[in-house]
């Protein structure tokens, strides 16, 4: 792979909206991605292997629990810092950002928000340092967009719960030490349970042959009469709203992360267009190539503004779920379109692993589907503005 020469675009001087702390956090993440991710990520993706050696670095830049309070091992940062970290990581690879999103928003957040003090103290510091890795089990083979229909369930057996069912498409599952699993009780109410690797009847088979997010490990979670200690139930919120609150946090991170992937594609294509000559001129001098590049920077700038404003709203605890859906949907589609256009600017070279663009493009095909598909987020916006529910 070519050396990482990334220079971040900032067409509207958005850095003026950031604090010194935001810039410091971003620069630590950016430097780490250049030093420790870019040199190894293409080979990891080609081999379809999660590069476990990056876990320590992710913890050091604050990517595990950026906004979790420091007393639990988190970085105690605000939402814009969290977004900037996700942006920088996904600039390197969406799969690496997935690992951080799951650990922070889908494992640490529910334990912090819905767990007991004992659970917080037991799990959060180890998750923040990367000593423990976690995964989040919501999706099932027959219930993806409609998680409320889940069939995974647990029964009260007096001194423990008995968990049965299966989850599918679970990021980090093959190596996770713990899983936050959503399952129905005997009355059909959804609860979160912490399932630990090693519990009898719990297995995590790997999902093979993905053409997307190849550097992220994906698997299933199988529960065959797994005995769960009662103290592993997250007691402070139940119902579908609990996992959906976690998704709000992760979707916010994706809205920022996708900008990183788009910036990397744009930056690569811009540099290539200025260097590559055809017909005796740089291809960047042709109007058709300029149109592509000009539209890319316009869309990136719009996405940056959306993400920044959403971060400011979340800092004030004022962002709605529907606003988060809009940003996730818009920014991921923006990144996917930019990856496709950027790939064309590189001609044949664009399909090789010499450059990051094709990897970003393939990764983004998962990002546009997970955490709520492109269509589902549109229907959430539709419901919000009309007051009419297309799901029921």
CB 342 within 8 A of CB 335: no
Closer to ligand FAD by Cβ: residue 30 or 251: 251
Closer to ligand TGC by Cβ: residue 137 or 311: 137
CA 367-386-364 angle, 5° bins: 10
Site for ligand TGC in 85-104 (CB under 6 A): 98, 101-102
Work out which of 14, 245, 312, 349 binds ligand TGC, going by CB under 6 A. Answer: 245
CB 300 within 8 A of CB 259: yes
Please give the C-alpha separations between residue 382 and each of 241, 310, 373, in angstroms, as whole numbers: 19, 19, 14
- Reply yes or no on whether 7 is catalytic: no
Closer to ligand TGC by Cβ: residue 278 or 389: 389
- 202 vs 135: CA distance, rounded Å: 14
Q: Contact residues for ligand FAD (CB under 6 A)? A: 102, 135-139, 144-145, 169-171, 213, 218, 366, 369-371, 373, 375-376, 379, 391
Q: Nearest CA to 246 among 234, 262, 228, 231?
A: 234
Instruction: Report CA Rg, the chain.
Output: 21
Select the binding partner of residue 123 from ligand FAD, ligand TGC, none (C-beta < 5 to 8 A, by kind). Answer: none
Select the binding partner of residue 101 from ligand FAD, ligand TGC, none (C-beta < 5 to 8 A, by kind). Answer: ligand TGC
Is position 321 an interface residue for ligand TGC (rule: CB under 6 A)?
A: yes
| Residue-by-residue DSSP string for 115-160 | S-HHHHHHHHHHHHHTSS-EEEE--BTTBSS-GGG---EEEE-SSE
Among the listed ranges 30-38, 183-191, 241-249, 338-346, the one in contact with ligand TGC (CB under 6 A) is: 241-249
Q: Per-residue contact track with ligand TGC, 51 to 90, x per CB under 6 A?
A: ----------------------------------------
Closer to ligand TGC by Cβ: residue 48 or 240: 240
Instruction: State the burial class of residue 15 (Cβ atoms within 10 Å of its Cβ: 0-12, 13-18, 19+).
Output: exposed
Please give the C-alpha separations between residue 242 and each of 91, 233, 310, 316, in angstroms, as whole numbers: 30, 13, 21, 20
Which token pair is 249? 């946090």
Select the binding partner of residue 218 from ligand TGC, ligand FAD, none (C-beta < 5 to 8 A, by kind). Answer: ligand FAD
Is position 255 an interface residue for ligand TGC (rule: CB under 6 A)?
A: no
Is position 42 an interface residue for ligand TGC (rule: CB under 6 A)?
A: no
In whole angstroms, how close is the CB of 230 to ligand TGC at the nearest point? 24
In whole angstroms, how close is the CB of 182 to ligand FAD at the nearest point? 8
Closer to ligand FAD by Cβ: residue 323 or 366: 366
Q: Nearest CA to 129 among 75, 66, 64, 68?
A: 64
Residues within the interface to ligand TGC (CB under 6 A): 98, 101-102, 136, 138-139, 145, 147-148, 171, 239-241, 244-245, 247-248, 250, 321, 370-372, 376, 380, 391
Question: Catalytic residue positions?
Answer: 371
């Amino acid at each position: 792979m070519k050396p990482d020469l990334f220079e971040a675009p900032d067409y509207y001087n958005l850095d003026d909206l950031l604090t010194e702390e935001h810039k410091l956090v971003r620069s630590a993440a950016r430097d780490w991605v250049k030093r420790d991710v870019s040199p190894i990520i293409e080979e990891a993706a080609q081999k379809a292997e999660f590069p476990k050696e990056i876990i320590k670095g992710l913890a050091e830049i604050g990517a595990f629990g950026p906004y979790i309070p420091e007393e639990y091992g988190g970085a105690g940062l605000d939402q814009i810092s969290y977004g900037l970290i996700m942006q920088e990581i996904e600039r390197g690879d969406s799969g690496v950002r997935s690992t951080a999103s799951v650990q922070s928003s889908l494992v640490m957040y529910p334990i912090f928000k819905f767990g007991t003090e004992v659970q917080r103290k037991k799990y959060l510091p180890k998750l923040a340092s990367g000593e423990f890795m976690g995964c989040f089990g919501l999706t099932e083979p027959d219930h993806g967009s409609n998680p409320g229909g889940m069939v995974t369930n647990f029964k009260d057996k007096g001194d423990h719960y008995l968990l049965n069912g299966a989850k599918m498409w679970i990021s980090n599952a093959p190596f996770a030490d713990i899983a936050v699993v959503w399952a129905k009780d005997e009355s059909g109410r959804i609860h979160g349970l912490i399932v630990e690797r090693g519990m009898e009847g719990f297995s995590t088979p790997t999902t093979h042959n993905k053409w997307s997010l190849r550097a992220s490990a994906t698997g299933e979670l199988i529960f065959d009469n797994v005995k769960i200690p009662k103290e592993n139930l997250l007691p402070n919120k139940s119902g579908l709203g609990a996992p959906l609150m976690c998704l709000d946090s992760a979707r916010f991170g994706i809205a920022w992360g996708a900008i990183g992937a788009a910036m990397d594609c744009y930056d690569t294509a811009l540099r290539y267009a200025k260097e590559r000559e055809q017909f005796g001129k740089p291809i960047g001098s042709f109007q058709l190539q300029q149109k592509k590049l000009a539209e890319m920077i316009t869309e990136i700038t719009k996405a940056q503004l959306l993400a920044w404003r959403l971060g400011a709203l979340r800092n004030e605890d004022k962002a709605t779920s529907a606003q988060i859906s809009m940003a996730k949907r818009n920014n991921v589609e923006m990144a996917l379109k930019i990856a496709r256009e950027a790939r064309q600017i590189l001609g044949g070279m664009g399909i090789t692993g010499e450059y990051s663009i094709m990897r970003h493009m393939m990764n983004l095909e998962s990002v546009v589907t997970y955490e709520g598909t492109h269509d589902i987020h549109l229907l959430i916006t539709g419901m919000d503005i009309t007051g009419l529910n297309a799901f029921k």
